[in-house]
Amino acid sequence: MSATATFPGTVVKATGSWFQVRLDDGTERACRLRGQLRLKGSKSTSFVAVGDRVELEDEGAEQAVIIALHDRRNYILRKSVNLSHRTQVIAANLDQAVLVTTVSEPKTLFGFIDRFLATAEAYSVPAVLVFNKMDALSEADRDELEYREAAYGAAGYRTLRTSALTGEGLEELRSLLANKVTLFSGHSGVGKSSLANALDPSLTLRTQAVSTAHGQGQHTTTFAEMHLMAGNINLIDTPGIRGFGIVSMEASEIGDYFPEIFALRSQCRFADCSHTEEPGCAVRDAVEAHKLAPTRYRSYLSMLHGVDDDDPYRQDAYKI
């Protein structure tokens, strides 16, 4: 009896028990996961994620079974909401991650942004910050936006202003996404789907207004999905994330995932400086000299002290 033929593909949608896989010839198959691949004792809620390269075995009728998972070159991982001992691979094999944020309506807090960026650093995913809804900013909002751009620019991150309503920044964003696999993430209500629709109106992703009662977004995307768009843009749209719990970071290495803190550590008096109370700390000196953003340092301290419960409001509450 001849062996059953297998063939490779990329996961483009993950709904829990079923997956959509794009084959290398551009066609797609609905797939289930072979039972043996569900690892016993696994602490991940998403053993197979969007962006994964997999091997399929044909089952006929446009369906197949995933029999093997290729090694990942990188991924983005977070703690699952309400499942403190579980982790979630949001997406894998990424060229970059774009975090869509808003200064208001809803406000993306520093703690959430910094946890996302630190996780991207930890798993070798280049990250870009998008400041969306530029059309809705007040003068006070614009002052805060300038602070955010300065803080993250000083840390080495590329930032971009956008508005799906006016078209501001869309061409620059389209150029940034071209020929790449990009994770598109952020809180619910920051306008990810509106931006994606503005880039490619054929997507018609569902959008929803921010709740006027709570000033927070409402979920419109249910599952992560990779959309192939003009310009060879592979955009992974994800459900809105309220909090971002960090995973598997030792206290001694957290500072390494803040580029501006990492750059200063060799100047500290002590090689094992925690940048908290030690004398001769170059990091604290930089904060006091207004050369390192206090919000970034506050996020570092909150992560160092374990404020990591998927609550962005507690994340920003740590005092320096």
Contact 223, 14 (CB under 8 A): yes
The predicted model gives 57-64 an average pLDDT of 79
276 within domain boundaries? yes
pLDDT at 211 over 60: no
pLDDT at 229 over 80: yes
Contact 47, 39 (CB under 8 A): yes
Q: Which stretches of the chain are DSSP H helices? A: 110-122, 139-154, 170-177, 192-199, 259-264, 282-288, 294-304, 312-315
Q: What is the CATH number of the domain that holds 206?
A: 3.40.50.300
**Segment 178-192, tens digit of pLDDT:** 999 999 999 889 999
147 and 93 part of one domain? yes
Domain of residue 32 covers 6-69
271 and 190 part of one domain? no
52 and 149 part of one domain? no
pLDDT at 215 over 60: no
Report residue 167's pLDDT band, with 50, 70 and 90 as the boundaries.
Answer: very high
Report the C-alpha gap between 121 and 115 in whole angstroms. Answer: 10
pTM of this prediction?
Answer: 0.87
List phi, psi (to 5°) of 199.
Answer: -70, -35
**Nearest in space to 53 (alpha carbons), one of 5, 7, 8, 6:** 8
Give CA 258 to chain center in angstroms. Answer: 16
**Residue 320: predicted pLDDT:** 55
pLDDT at 75 over 70: yes
**Residue 310: predicted pLDDT:** 46
For all residues of the chain together, what is the average pLDDT? 85
Type of residue found at 296: R
32 and 101 part of one domain? no
